[in-house]
Amino acid sequence: MNKKYMMFGMLFLCVGLVSAAYLVNSFVFEVGVAEPFEIQYAVLGDAGDYNVSEDGICADATTWFTSSEGSIPTGDMYPGESRKFCVKVINAGEATIKYNVTSEVISGGENCSSAFPETTITGDALGSQSTIDGMEFTVPGDAPVVSGCNVEVSVLRG
């Protein structure tokens, strides 16, 4: 008699275990990662030294160029002259994201690297807003005469 109850109990447990693992529902969601940054550039100062009291600061820049423009018109510089290079990082995301802005001579020869040394700035692009940063660069007084120098400015996030 006890064996009958035991067999019934085992059968009941087995059915219970199988039904406990029965999939009731599931879903799949499609998701991706979008580029949060829109980058714009400006160059302050021309035909002389950049002077913050005369030329303003990056936030006052009235002519911003988008990153799709290819190149920014700057003109030639003389030794000892400086410019202020400005970057506006528009962060569409809600999180604060680190960025690095690097300038690098990509063509024009060895003398171009002497005239336009590489520089880097880092910062945090605040979420859901624009962050404006900039760096001054000065052509060294002993810079050689060069032409056709292409200086690439890259913005890296993360």
Domain ranges of the chain: 37-157
pTM score over 0.75: no
Contact 38, 90 (CB under 8 A): yes
47 vs 139: which has the higher pLDDT: 139
Residue 1 reports pLDDT greater than 60 = no
pLDDT (mean) for 6-30: 70
pLDDT (mean) for 54-71: 68
Fold of 37-157: Immunoglobulin-like (2.60.40)
